[in-house]
Amino acid sequence: MKEPADRIRFVASGLLMLCLSIAATGVSAELQGELNRFSLEEAIVDVREIIAAGPGRDSIPALVHPEALNAADSPWADDVRVIGVEVGGEARAYPLAVLNWHELVNDTLGGLPILVSYCPLCATAMVFDRILDRRTRQFGVSGLLYRSDLLLYDRQTESLWSQIAATAVAGELAGKKLNLLRSRQQRWVDWLSAHPNSTILSPSTGHVRNYARDPYASYAQADEPMFPVATDERYPAKVRALGLRLADGRARAYPAPELMKAGGRVSEWFGGHKVEVGYDAARAEFDVSAPGPVAVVEGYWFAWLAFHPDSEVFVAIQPTREAVSPEASQR
Residue by residue, DSSP assigns 96-108 as: HHHHHHH-EEEEE
* Run of H or E residues at 202: none
Mapped onto helix, strand or coil, the DSSP state of residue 80 is coil
The residues, ordered by sequence, that sit 6+ positions from 230 with a Cβ below 8 Å of its Cβ are 8, 9, 10, 147, 302, 305, 306, 309
> Using one digit for the tens of pLDDT, what is the confidence trace for 230-254?
888 899 999 999 999 999 999 999 9
Give the pLDDT score at 231: 82
d(CA 66, CA 102): 12
Average pLDDT over residues 200-210: 97
d(CA 275, CA 267): 6
Q: Is 49 in contact with 261 (CB distance < 8 Å)?
A: no
Write out pLDDT tens, residues 280-307: 999 999 999 999 999 999 999 999 999 9
**Structure confidence at residue 2 (pLDDT):** 38
CA gap 141, 58 in Å, rounded: 5
Q: pLDDT tens for residues 68-109?
A: 999 999 999 999 999 999 999 999 999 999 999 999 999 999
Please provide the average confidence, as pLDDT, over all residues in the chain.
88
Measured in degrees and rounded to the nearest 5, phi and psi for residue 310 equal -100, 15
Listed residue (11, 219, 4, 205) closest to 122, CA to CA? 219
Instruction: Express each pLDDT in 252-279 by its tens digit.
Output: 999 999 999 999 999 999 999 999 999 9
CB 114 within 8 A of CB 178: no
- The strands making up 63-64's β-sheet, listed across from edge to edge, are 63-64, 104-109, 112-119, 124-129, 180-181
Residue ranges per domain, the chain?
63-201, 232-329
pLDDT at 317 (0 to 100): 83
C-alpha torsion angle, residues 299, 37, 169, 302 (rounded to 10)? 20
Categorize the per-residue pLDDT at 318 as very low, low, confident or very high, splitting at 50, 70 and 90.
low
Q: Say if CB 203 and CB 67 are below 8 A apart.
A: no
User: What confidence tens digit (pLDDT) does each residue in 23-75 have?
Assistant: 333 333 333 457 999 999 889 999 999 999 888 999 999 999 999 999 999 99
Q: Distance between CA 105 and CA 263 in Å, rounded?
A: 36
- The 10 Å Cβ neighbour count of residue 286 is 20
Query: How confident is the model at residue 230, as a pLDDT?
Result: 83
pTM of structure: 0.86
Burial 189-199 (b: 16+ CB within 10 A, else e): ebbbeebeebb
Determine the pLDDT at residue 55: 85
Work out the number of other CB atoms within 10 angstroms of the CB of residue 206.
Answer: 10
